[in-house]
Amino acid sequence: MKNYYVSAIDGSKRFVICGPFRTHNEALKMVKPIETYANLIDPRAHFMAWGTCSSEKLLKCAINC
């Protein structure tokens, strides 16, 4: 079973931000709200590329959501 996550890229660094979600659509719906929240915590988040990723394994996330 695939797990879906909100992710961010900052140059060569990749981050798993939030998840897992059961479907890709659920993860996609959370990209903008999580990006907005991340900007409140760290203004550098504004300059990152935001999207989704998936994994068969459970991944550790930067924030709990």
pLDDT value at residue 18: 97
pLDDT value at residue 65: 79
Tens digit of each residue's pLDDT (9 = 90 or more) over 3-43: 999 999 999 999 999 999 999 999 999 999 999 999 999 99
Q: How far is CA 53 from the centre of its chain?
A: 8
Q: What's the whole-model pTM score?
A: 0.93
Q: In what order do the strands lie in the sheet with 3-10?
A: 13-21, 3-10, 49-55
Query: Euclidean distance between the first and final Cα of the chain, in Å?
Result: 20
- Checking if the pLDDT of 50 tops 90, the result is yes
